[in-house]
Amino acid sequence: MTDLFTMDQGFITLLPTILVLGLALWSRRTLESVLAGALVAFLIMEGLGFLDAMAKATLATLMSKDVAWVMLVCGLYGGFIALLVKGGGSHALGRALISRIKTKRGGLLATWSLGLLIFLDDYLNSLTVGATMKAVTDRFRTSRAMLAYVVDSTAAPLCLLVPLSSWGVYFASLLEQNDVAAEGQGIAVFIETVPYLFYPMVALLIVPLVAIGVIPLVGAMRRAEERAERTCDLGVSEEQALAVEEDARGGVSVFFLPMMAMVLFSTIPSIDLLRGVIAAILFTFAYYGLWHVMPILEVFDTCIEGIKSMVPVLAMLLTLFVFVEANDRLGLTPYVIDAVSPFMTAGLLPVVVFVTVSTLSFTTGSNWGVIAIVMPIAFPLAQTFGVSIPLVMGALFSASAFGSQACFYSDSTVLSAQGAGCTTHQHAVTQLPYALLAAAVSAVLFVIVA
């Protein structure tokens, strides 16, 4: 980092993020907006050497163990889901559900219910539920934006409420690393925060209220639903479509048995989603071959096509990770924390933590990363003011869930749009009012409980 940038410049740390949000709203193109933000961030830090700096940062990001893990998991999920679709498992499940669902409301509630069952990981939830329920919701002229909203609302929020998930394991490890929990007690302490995870609870409860009409459709969501009802234009994005078409050759077991293998191998003997998806693909290969679901060469081709369909998503995720790295180098999170620190008191600490970290997570697209940075600050503050540790941690984790769902370019937003088959921008703008409503209710609850 050169002398062109110092922390004394303060507000300039916000410029790349402001640019990303402005460009995303103006152009409706998410990838290009995030890329522009990253370029500007490195230009601020490195001056004329910004291209070399960004190239090195991109390579370092791609070589990161965590980023490589995410890229592999997402790519392989694409192959796995393509097998379920091509083998007829998704079609059979959809057909079974259609015979029991008679209304649009029923289709949305069924989507929400299926989302509640797939709690192991938000990536798996976002891609699987959307791909499975499209046939059901399409029948009742439900816009793909509405489908994506329902899916996204049961992804990260649900994974936070169920400790046996990738989110639970990650946050439990953070609690141990920051001495909030003793070694080996991370999950136990994380469970203590669950009653205070207000945002995930509220976000999950709002979905059925929207589905049955208690909470009205507003803004872009209302227009998307009216267009779907009036013209049958569901807002399908060809770019987000899965590379393989549904097939009716298999039964419901073609869906459930591979999914059961996924859960089993992902959780035993420890939670490892990469191991789980690899094992699930191998199981599906063997199962399809044994029961002649499709020829073995077609199985390989289908898996490869599914992985190929994830390339735009992987490009978006890599760009996002580079942007997050740029914001970390700029010092955005410490700058914002310093700016709000005068407002932190015993009574306001939980809500200030929630609002501040929600804003950071929403603007940066970093959910887990922001929490890792803020936790070492939030924990001592809770001790200093004598505020309940589980309450403050609940506010912190709730903020992460809000950012994951609401951010225009977060991984959860991108994957939910991919699963539902709509554009990332369309999904982001249609669901934002409901995410903000859940955040507002949660903020009030943090004030009351404190």
Confidence of residue 7 (pLDDT cuts 50, 70, 90): very low
Give the separation between CA 62 and CA 71, rounded to whole angstroms: 9
How far is C-alpha 119 from the chain's CA centre? 13
Confidence of residue 94 (pLDDT cuts 50, 70, 90): confident
Closest by CA position to 110, among listed 93, 127, 122, 87: 93
CA neighbor of 315 nearest in space, from 49, 123, 58, 125:
58
Nearest partner of 285 among 82, 49, 8, judged by Cα? 82
User: Residue 3: pLDDT band by 50, 70, 90 thresholds?
Assistant: very low
- Report residue 271 as tokens: 């939670």
Percent of the chain past pLDDT 70, that is, above it, reads 95
- Tabulate helix, strand, coil % of the chain (nearest 5): 80, 0, 20
* Confidence at 46, pLDDT banded by 50, 70, 90: very high
> pTM of the full predicted structure?
0.84
Q: Which of 21, 25, 414, 87 is nearest to 281 (CA)?
A: 87
Residues 266 and 281: their CA atoms lie apart, in Å, by 12
| pLDDT in the model for residue 333 | 81
Average pLDDT over residues 418-444: 95
Whether 249 shows a pLDDT value over 70: the answer reads: no
State the pLDDT at residue 56.
95
- In whole angstroms, what is the distance from residue 72 CA to residue 60 CA? 16
What single-letter DSSP state applies at residue 217? P
122-139 helix and 65-86 helix, angle to the nearest 10 degrees? 30
Residue 1: the pLDDT is: 41
Summarize pLDDT for 206-245 with one digit per residue, the tens: 999 999 999 999 999 999 999 999 999 999 986 655 555 5
Q: Stretch 309-327: mean pLDDT, rounded? A: 88
pLDDT score of 238:
65
What pLDDT score was predicted for residue 252? Answer: 84
Tell me what the pLDDT averaged over the chain comes to.
88
Residues 6+ apart with CB under 8 A from 141: 104, 228, 229, 232, 234
